[in-house]
Structure 1
Amino acid sequence: MINYTQGKSEKSGSISSEVMYRDLFQLNPQPMWVYDVETFEILNVNEAAVRHYGYSRDEFLRLTIKDLRPAADIPILVSAVEKVRRYDKLYSSGVYRHRKKNGTIIDVDIQSNIIHIDGRKAELVLSTDITEKCKADEKFKAVFENTRDAIMICDDGANCLDYNAAVVDMFGYSRKELDQLNLFDLVKVRDGEDPHGLWKRFLKGNIRNGKMHLIHKDGSLIIGSFNAKPNILPGMHLCVVTDITEKVLKSKALILSNERYKLILNAANEAIYDWDIERDKVEWGTGFKDIFGYDLAVYNNHIWSDNIYHEDKERVVREISEALNDAGREMLVTECRYVKCDEKVALVEHRIIFLRNVSGKAIRAVGSVRDITDYKQNLHRIQLQNEQLKEIAWIQSHVVRAPLSRMMGLVELLKMGEYGDLGKEEILNLVQQSATELDNVIKEIVNKADKVQSEDD
C-alpha cells in the first residue's frame, strides 16, 4: 500500500500522480477523453463519455474526434486543432456541436488542456452537455425578441446594455443609437426630480411598478406601464415597459363620451334609458321624472313595466320579449297607455334599439319613451279639420255651382231679350231665388270655415 501522508520519493510521487490522474479521469461525472493532436485518434475515454455518447469503450477507442462532430463542423475542428499544435501549453474552451452514436446532435461546452503521453502531444478534453441550456436560451431569446413589451437591461449607471426589438419600435431609435443612450434619455422626469437620485433609490430597493411618461425620438409622449427589478444579475437591472398610450387615450375618450351621453340624457325632451340586459339594470335620464313624475330614487328597477296601463301591459311585455329574443331584430317601436304618478293616463311612444353580441343575443338596449298624448290629440283635431275642409271644398265645387249656373243662364236670357214662355219679371224672380240660394251656401261655407278656425285657435 502506498502511503500518501509521508514525504514522497520521486517514484512514490509519480505513482500517486498516476493514481490521482486515473481517479480524476475515470471517476469524473463529466465525459472526458484524450486524443492525439496529430492524428485526431482518441487515446483514452472515461466511463461518463461511454454512457453519454452511447459508444462502448472499444468503439470509442477506434474513433477519431472527427467522428464526434457533424460533417459540416469538421473544418472548424481542424482549424482549432491546428492552433493547438502550435503551442506546448494551452488551455482552450468553447461551445461546439457533437454527434452521439445514435445520430443525436448535442451542444457541448468543451474545456481542454495540452498534455504529453509517452512523448506524444495530446489534449485532455472535458465535455459538458449544454443542449437543454441552449434550448432554454433560445426560448428565452425568442420570447425576449418577440414580446410586444419593451425589455431593457441596464448597468449600474442606467446605461442600456441590452434590449429587444420592441424597444426599437417603441422609441424609434436604431440599435446603434440606443447603444449610446442612458435610460433617462428615454424617460420624462417630473420637474424638480433628480433622475440620479431616483435611480439610486431604485437600485437599493426591490421590484417597482407603475406608470411613467417616456419620450419618443420625435419628441412625442409615450405613456408606459412598467415593471422594474434591480440586480437580476450583479450589476444588471431589468425594466419591462408596456405602451398604454392608446389605451389611456381611449379611456379618456370613453369617459368624455359617457359624460356627453349623460348630458344628452338630461337634456332630451324624452325619457331616455340605458338597459343592461345581462344584469337587468336600467339607468333612466332625468326626463323620466320630468315627464311622468316618478322619483327614481324611490321606485325600483321595474318602474316602467309596473305602470303600463293594465289593458295594454300584456301586449307590450309580449312585444318586447319577442323583439328581445329575435336575433335579427334591431329596433322595436310600440305605443301604449301609461299611468303617470298623478294617476293621469298618457299615450306614449316607446322606442328600443338593441345591442347584440356575435351570437345575436341582446346584451344591452337604449330606449326612449315619449308622451304623445298632445301629439295624438292634435293629430286627431287636424284630421277632423281636414274632413271639414274636404266638405267645404265639395260644397264649393258642387253646391255653389248649381245656383251660380242658373243665375248665369237667366242673365244671358235677359241680355238676349228672348224670354220664351217666361215673362221678364218671372225670370228676375228666378234670378233672385238663385242668388238667395247662393248666399245661403256661402254663409254655410263661412260658418264651417269659422268653426275650423276656432278649433285651430
Structure 2
Amino acid sequence: MTAVAESVDRVLYVGRDREYYTDLTSVLERTLSGFAVTLASDRDQAVEFLSRESIDCVVTETTVAGGWRSFVEALRNRTPEVPVLLAVDGDEDCAAAAIRAGVDAVVDRRENPTERLAVGVKRGIERYHRLVEERAETDWYESLLDGIGDFAVVVGPDSAVKYVSPSIERVTGYTPADVEAMGPFGYVHPDDQPDVIEAFYETMTEPAGATAKVEIRAQQADGTWRIHEGVGVNHLGEDPLDGLVITVRDITDPARPKSRLDEHLDRVTDAFFALDDDLRFTYVNETAAALLSADEGSLVGEPFGVVFDESADAAAFETNFRRAVASERTVEFEADFPPTGISTAVRAYPSETGLSVYLRDVTEQKARERERELTERRFRAVFEGALDAMVILDDEARYVDANEAACELYGLDRSALLGRSVDEFVPPSVDVDALWQQVVAGERARGTIPVVRPDGTRRTAEYVATPNVQPGRHLSVMRDITERERRERELERYESLVETVSDGVFTVDADGYLTFVNEALVDLTGYRRDELVGEHVSLLVDESTFERGRELDERLRDGDLTEGIIEARVQRADGERIQTETRFALLPADAGVGERVGVVRDVSEQRRRKEQLEALNRLNSVIREINRMLAQTGSREELETLVCERLTESDTYALAWVGDVDRSAGTVSPRAWAGSDEVTADLVAELAERQSDGDAPGAVMEATSSRSVQVVSDLRTVDAPWSALAVAHGYRTAIAIPFVYDGVEYGVLSVYSRQTDAFDEEHREIIAQLRDVVGHALNAIEREATLLSDRVVEFKLRSRRIAAPFGELATARNRTTIAGASRPAATPPSST
C-alpha cells in the first residue's frame, strides 16, 4: 500500500470482492477527482494501514476476513467520525446490526449499483469534512455557554429565551424550562426589572460586542433572595448565538459568623476551597480534602501549588485563578486535575478576601457527553448519508426533517417537503390515518405504500416506521422499490411464460451446471426439479454432445454465432434415450457471468416421421423404378431379383426373398433373394424351410392361403421356428406379399426389417402395390413365353369334378406335362 498526498481524499475498501472494488474505483474515477482507493483484503491488513495512514471514508464487505463487526469496532475506537459504508447482499438483519455497530450507511449490492455506492462515498467524505470544520466552532460555542459564570441565558431578538445553561438549577433552583416559561427576567425583583431591561435592551441596539453589567436581587425557587451579577454581551447576527448572551454569578455577601459559614460550606456537595489573594488555602471542605488527598486542616495556610505537580494543567489552574483575582470576575474552566487525573469543572469567584473555588468531578459527564455527541453525529451522518429515504414526523404526521434520499423520493427539495402531511402524498384509497395511529400508539409498523409526487408520477416504497425516537418524533425509513417491483412483475411474466411453454427451458453456468429448469424439462427428462438443478449436463447427454456444445459456446462468445443448435439424444431418468433439438444462446452479462439459456424440444416423433417419409419416398422410388424396368426385364428370374435388390438398397429393409409355395407338400422354395452383407443363401433357405414348421403356418404360407398381404409387427411375439430364426439374426418385423394376377399366384415376396415401424399402415399400402404390379409383370412374361412357343398350351380348370385328376398330375417334381409340352406349374387354383 502506498500513502497518497494530503490533498487527496482517501477511501479504504476492505474485502475480497476485487470485481466490485474495481467497479467502484472505475465509477469514482468518472464522477470524482482528487481521490485514491486502497484495497485491504482482511481486518488485520486494514487495521495495520489505519495505524500508518489517515483516511476520509471506509467501504467494507460483510464477508471480510476477521469479521466486519470487529473491524468497525477497531475503526470507531481509532477514528470515531470517519464515515463507514457496509456493502451487504440483501440481509436486513445484518443491516440493522450494522447501524447499531456504528456503520454510517448500508448499501445493498443486489439492488444498488456501484454508482449509488459512489454517491454514498462522496456524501460521506463531504459530511466528514464539514464535521471537522464545525468541530472548532461547536466546541467554542459549548465552552462559551457552559464555562462562564454560574449560569448563562441567551435572549433572542424577539426577547424570547433561546438557551439556558443547566447549571441554573443548581444556583437558583429553577430549571431551564422554568426560565423559558417566565421569561429572561421573571425571577428579578420587580423594583430592579426596569433598570435591567433598559440596560440589556439598550445593549442590543448597539454594535456587536457591546456589553452591559447589572446587579440585581434574584428570587430563588425556594422563595429566598440572592444578589446576582449579570453581564450581557451583544451577539446579535452572529452564528450560532444570534442574541444577547447574559452570564450570571451569585455575589451575595458571605460575611457572617465563621461557624455559620463553615456549616454552609460543609453542606456543599462539590469540592470547595477558599484562597487568599496570594493563592494560599484559607478553607478546604471535606470533599475537596479527599480530592486533594490531604487533611482539611493541614492545607490551610499552604500555597495552592503544594498539591500540584509540574503538569501543564497545574499551570492552567494557577493562570486562571490569578486572572480571576486580577479581573475580579468569575472564571470557569475545565481541566484534568493532576493529582488524580480526573476531569474537573472549576469555578473561581473573586471576593474581597480572595477566591472561592468549586471543583466538580465531570469525568463521567464528559465521557457521556462525548459518547452522546458521537452518537448524535453518527446517527445524523446515517440520516443524511443514507441511500434509503429517511423522514422524521411529528404526532400529526407532518414532516419535520428529511434526508436527501427522501427529497428524491418525493420529488421535492427539503424546504418544500417540511411541514407537509403524509396524506398529501398517497392516493385516497390508502387509509393513512389508521396506519399513523398505529405508529403514534407506539407500535413499530412496516409495509408497502404508494407515493404520489406533486407532478403526478407514482413510486412504490417499502417503509419501516419506528415511533418516538424522540418524544413526539417518529422515524420512517423508506426504500424506493418501484424499479424492483417492475422487474419482479416482468420476471413473473417471464417465469409464467417459461413454465407454460411446452418446450424444456434451462439455464446453465460456464462450467456446465444447470441453474434453472422449467416444468416441461422435468417432464421431458423424468427427473425431479431438485434432481436437475445443480447437476452437470452430462447427466443428460454424452461427452461428445457436451464437447460440441462447448465448441458452439466458444463461437457464441467470439461473436461468430448468435444461437447454437445441437441435435442429440437425451437420456431420461428411466434410461430411455429420446431424440432432441437444443437451441441455446448467451445470457446478458448482468444475468450471470458465463450463463447460457437453452430450449430443448423432443423431436423423436418429428425425427420418426421424417425418417418414415424418407422411407416412403425411397419405397415409392423403388416401386416406380420397378415399373420402369418391367418392360426391360426378359425373364422371371431377372424380375424377381430386381425387386429384391431394389428393396434392400434402402436402410429400412435388411432382407427380401421370393419363393414358390407348394401347398400340397407344404413347402416353400426360394427363387431369388437380396440383402445386407450378413445375409446368405443358407439363411434364406432355412427361413423358407421353417415356414411350415411348428403348429402355426408362417407368414408366407398365410399369404398364399389368403392371397393377401401378411404383416408381423413384432417377430418377438410370434412363437414359431421361422420367427425365432429371424429374431436371432436381428430382424424385428416382416411382411409377406403374394404376387397375384387374375387369380393366379406367381410366388410370395418376404421382406424383413430391423426397425419396429418399417411396415406401418403407410408403408404397407405402398409396398402392397407389388402384389398386383409384379403379379401382372410375371403374368406378362409367362404369356409372352407361351406365344413364342407352339408347344406350350395354357388353360384354366374351374370344374370341381375334373380338378382332382389334373391336380394329381402334379408330381414330386411339381411339373405338369400335356401333349409332350411342359412348364413349371403355377399354384393350383382353388376349386369352385
So what's the TM-score if we normalise by structure 2? 0.30
* Structure 2 counterpart of 1:225: 462
2:457 matches 1:215: no
Q: 2:271 aligns with which of 22, 25, 40?
A: 25
The alpha-carbon deviation at position 156 of structure 1 amounts to 1.5
The answer (yes or no) to whether the contact 1:55–1:101 under 8 Å persists in 2 is no
Mapped contact 1:275–1:283 kept (Cα < 8 A): no
| 369 and 360 in structure 1: CA distance in 2 versus 1, 3 angstrom threshold | farther
Aligned residue identity for 1:240: V
2:542 aligned partner: 317
- Residue pair 2:540, 2:571 contacting (<8 A) in 1 also: no
Offset, 1:364? 5.8
* Contact 2:505–2:597, Cα closer than 8 Å, also in 1: no
| Cα drift, residue 360 of structure 1 | 6.3
The structure 2 residue matched to 1:296, chosen from 523, 533, 545, is 523
2:316 corresponds to 1:60: yes
In the alignment, what sits opposite 2:352? 118
The CA deviation at 1:338 is: 8.0
Point out the structure with max Rg over C-alpha.
2
- Give distance in 2, aligned partners of 1:58 and 1:350: 88
Contact 2:567 2:580 in 1 (8 A): yes
Give 1:13 shift: 1.8
Deviation, 1:15, is 0.9
Task: Say if 2:486 is the partner of 1:249.
Answer: yes
Q: Deviations over 1:196-217 (max 9, x none)?
A: 4543343124111111112222
Contact conserved, 2:399 with 2:422, CA < 8 A, in 1? yes
Q: How far off its partner does 1:168 sit?
A: 1.1
CA distance in 2, matches of 1:338, 1:164: 58
- Matched letter for residue 167 of structure 1: A
* Deviation digits for residues 366-412 of structure 1 (CA, Å, limit 9, x no counterpart): 33343344446767969x99xx9xxxxxxxxxxxxxxxxxxxxxxxx
Work out whether residues 330 and 347 of structure 2, in 8 Å CA contact, stay in contact via their aligned partners in 1.
yes
Match of 1:160 in 2: 399
Equivalent residue, structure 1, for 2:786: none
**Distance in 2, Cα, partners of 1:374 & 1:226:** 60
Conservation of the 8 A alpha-carbon contact between 1:209 and 1:226: yes
Q: Which residue of 1 aligns with 2:415?
A: 176
Q: 1: CA distance between counterparts of 2:597 and 2:391?
A: 44
* Cα distance, 1:318 vs structure 2: 1.2
1:335 maps to 567
Cα 1:55–1:166 change in 2 (3 A) is farther
- Equivalent position SS for 2:523: coil
In the alignment, does 2:367 pair up with 1:131?
no
Q: Deviations over 1:419-449 (max 9, x none)?
A: xxxxxxxxxxxxxxxxxxxxxxxxxxxxxxx
Tell me if the contact between 2:570 and 2:578 (Cα under 8 Å) persists in the aligned partners: yes
1:26 Cα deviation after fit = 5.5
SS of the aligned residue for 2:420 comes to coil
Amino acid at match of 1:296: D
Q: Show the counterpart of 1:204.
A: 441
Tell me the C-alpha RMSD between the 2 structures.
5.6
Change beyond 3 A, Cα 1:347–1:162 = closer
The equivalent position to 2:506 in structure 1, one of 255, 274, 284, is 274
When residues 239 and 280 of structure 1 are mapped into structure 2, their CA distance, relative to the original with a 3 A threshold, is: closer
Amino acid at match of 1:145: E
Matched residues in 2 for 1:372 and 1:125: separation?
101
Assess, with a 3 A threshold, how the Cα gap between structure 1 residues 200 and 354 changes in structure 2: closer, same or farther: closer
Q: What one-letter code is carried by the residue in structure 2 that aligns with 1:142?
A: A
Aligned counterpart, 1:258: 495
What is the SS of the residue equivalent to 2:542?
helix
Partner of residue 367, structure 1: 600
Query: 2:150 matched to 1:150?
Result: no
Q: Which residue pairs with 1:240 in the alignment?
A: 477
| d(CA) in 1 for partners of 2:454, 2:321 | 53
CA contact (8 A) 1:352 1:368 kept: no
- Check 1:170–1:99 CA distance in 2 against 1; reply closer, same or farther (3 A cut): farther
Query: Which amino acid is 2:481 matched to?
Result: I
Q: Distance in 1 between matches of 2:613 and 2:526?
A: 32
Asked whether the 8 Å contact 2:427–2:450 carries over to 1, the reply is yes
Residues 29-108 of structure 1: matches in 2 within 5 Å? 55=311, 58-64=314-320
Deviation at 1:233, TM superposition (A): 2.2
Partner of 1:283: 518
Cα displacement (A) at 1:350: 4.0
Residue-by-residue CA offset, 1:249-279 (whole Å, 9 max, x unaligned): 111111122233445x23xxxx443356756
Code of the residue aligned with 1:200 in structure 2: it is Q
1:200-241 alpha-carbon deviations (Å, 9 max, x no partner): 343124111111112222121221111112222221112111
Letter in 2 for 1:163: A
Alpha-carbon deviation of 1:135?
2.5
Residue 163 (structure 1) shift: 1.9
Question: Counterpart of 1:133 in structure 2: which amino acid?
Answer: R
8 Å Cα contact 1:206-1:229 kept in structure 2: yes
Residue 361 of structure 1, CA deviation = 6.2
The aligned counterpart of 1:407 is none
349 and 297 in structure 1: CA distance in 2 versus 1, 3 angstrom threshold? closer
Q: 1:125 to 1:378 in 2, by over 3 A?
A: farther
Is contact 2:569–2:577 with CA below 8 Å preserved after alignment? Answer: yes
Counting matched residue pairs gives 307
Instruction: Classify the secondary structure of the residue corresponding to 1:241.
Output: strand
Relative distance call for 1:117 and 1:272 in structure 2 (3 A) is same
**Structure with the bigger percentage of helix:** 1
Residues 272 and 359, structure 2, Cα contact 8 Å, conserved in 1: no
Matched residue type, 1:199 = W
Q: Gaps (5+ residues) in structure 2?
A: 1-255, 278-283, 293-304, 533-537, 557-562, 625-765, 767-832
CA distance in 2, matches of 1:337, 1:61: 95
Runs of 5+ consecutive residues of structure 1 not aligned to the other structure: 1-8, 28-32, 37-43, 68-80, 103-107, 289-294, 306-312, 389-453
Residues 19 and 56 (structure 1 numbering): CA distance in 2 closer, same or farther, change over 3 Å? farther
Q: Which has the higher contact order (CA 8 A, sep 6+)?
A: 1
What percent of counterpart residues are identical? 17
Q: State how far apart, in whole Å, the 2-side matches of 1:254 and 1:158 are.
A: 36
User: Partner letter of residue 164 of structure 1?
Assistant: N
User: Post-superposition shift, 1:297?
Assistant: 9.4
* Separation (CA, whole Å) in 2 of partners of 1:178 and 1:339: 64
TM-score by length of 1: 0.50
Q: Secondary structure at the match of 1:296?
A: helix
Q: 1:299 to 1:216 in 2, by over 3 A?
A: same
DSSP 3-state at the match of 2:469: strand
